[in-house]
Amino acid sequence: MTSATDSPLPAVPRLIATDLDGTLLRDDKTVSDRTIAALAAAEETGIEVFFVTGRPARWMGVVSDHVHGHGLAICANGAAVADLHAGGRLVKVRPLERSVALDVVSALRVAAPGTSFAVELTTGIHYEPAYPPLHLDPVATVAVAEKLLHEETPGAGAPVLKLLAHHAELAPDDFLTVARTAAGGLASLTRSSPTALLEVSGPGVSKASTLALCCAERGISPAEVVAFGDMPNDVEMLNWAGTSYAMGNAHPAAVAAASGRTATNEEDGVAVVIERLVARRRATRSRD
């Protein structure tokens, strides 16, 4: 494993893909002045920046002022692409079919009794009575998952972006292992929270697969992408990108997947690497 100071960088990076919580954001959920300056410098030198997060579009206010150029962000672990210049309007949706979500609920109720669920729709989130209350979403409907996922007319309801599953007693990684054994053949299961909270997306939906779609639309290859992350939901993206960095505070799975390591989110680890990218890009242009 190499560090941020000696990890090889792509010859001509064209896109930076960065997670938010635990990666770009400080622990207080702010973006430091150093990171703001680094993001702006990257865009000025022609390197696109994509925020790639498990957050829903409505929780992107923390970084919406720092999206340049395209204005797009990949949200909900790849289930949606949002235009932050248009108030978070969803421009691409990769839904979890309700029938599949119901099958996952049934499987986890058997495999991990005591699991509670929330359903993230394109229109907002709703959750079960036992699910930890969401203070950022005070108007959510509270009902059992089977009712939340029910449609009077098939296809009439808002698309499901992801299913969330919480367990009050299991350790986070143990819960993920149990869930993948029970339902991994039905959907994509991952985690990004320090608690036993799992995120369930449609089969094949991940940060990496949606990032790949966005890059293909721009003619950008994996070799031209530099990615940053810290948790299991970043693993596929860190593997996919030609160059990738796990944060100094990263989960072991993210460290194993990345090609390099940078400083912690509290130490502006993303900015440390971006500054190197920008300095080299400017030096190359000055020689030309």
CA distance 38 to 105: 42
- Using DSSP's 3-state secondary structure scheme, residue 36 falls into helix
Token pair recorded at residue 53: 């997060």
- Whether 1 has a pLDDT exceeding 60, the answer reads no
CA distance 268 to 154: 47
Interval 4-17 mean pLDDT: 71
Please state whether beta strands 243-246 and 2-3 pair in parallel, antiparallel, or not at all (unpaired): unpaired
User: Is the separation of the CB atoms in 20 and 77 below 8 Å?
Assistant: no
Q: Which of 265, 268, 245, 249 has its CA nearest to residue 257? A: 245
CA distance 67 to 65: 6
Q: How many CB atoms lie within 10 A of CB 138?
A: 7
- Whether 164 has a pLDDT exceeding 80, the answer reads yes
Interval 49-57 mean pLDDT: 96
User: Is the separation of the CB atoms in 240 and 227 below 8 Å?
Assistant: yes
- Whether 2 has a pLDDT exceeding 50, the answer reads no
Compute CA distances 164 → 77, 84, 118, 182, 280, whole Å. Answer: 12, 24, 5, 15, 42
pLDDT one-digit tens code per residue, 226-275: 999 999 999 999 999 999 999 999 999 999 999 999 999 999 999 999 99
Interval 2-21 mean pLDDT: 74
Domains belonging to the chain, first-starting first, are 2-94+206-287 (3.40.50.1000), 98-201 (3.30.1240.10)
Q: How many CB atoms lie within 10 A of CB 275?
A: 18
The DSSP element (H or E) to which 124 belongs, if any, is: strand 124-127
